[in-house]
Amino acid sequence: MTDKFQLPVYWKDHEDIAMGLYEKFGDDFGESQIYRIRFTELIEWVLELPNFKGKREECNEGHLEMIQSKWVYEWRDNQN
């Protein structure tokens, strides 16, 4: 279910996507595990995020690498 008050998220919104993935998975993945996630899985997870409006065809390796990097920063920010 999408929140009608949240802005739509696209592939270029790496930080918003990373925050969404951290909210979804929490500490299920550590830093090294995040970097080992297959891009095919990552694409599916991003497409399932609420308010994500990007299309699969718009995705590229650069976006996925940036999303992983931002996800790691988000994970680090939430560690004690």
Strand partners, 52: 9
User: pLDDT tens digits for 8-51?
Assistant: 999 999 999 999 999 999 999 999 999 999 999 999 999 999 99
Query: Is the model's pTM score more than 0.75?
Result: yes
- DSSP 8-state secondary structure symbol assigned to residue 28: G
> How would you label 38-74 residue by residue, b for 16+ Cβ within 10 Å and e otherwise?
eeeebbebbeebebbebeeeebeeebbebbbebbbeb
End-to-end CA distance of the chain: 31
**Structural domains in the chain?**
14-77 (1.10.10.600)
Residue with tokens 């931002």: 70
Average pLDDT, integer, range 46-57:
96
The pLDDT of residue 4 is above 70:
no
Distance (Å) of CA 39 to CA 26, 44, 60: 19, 9, 10
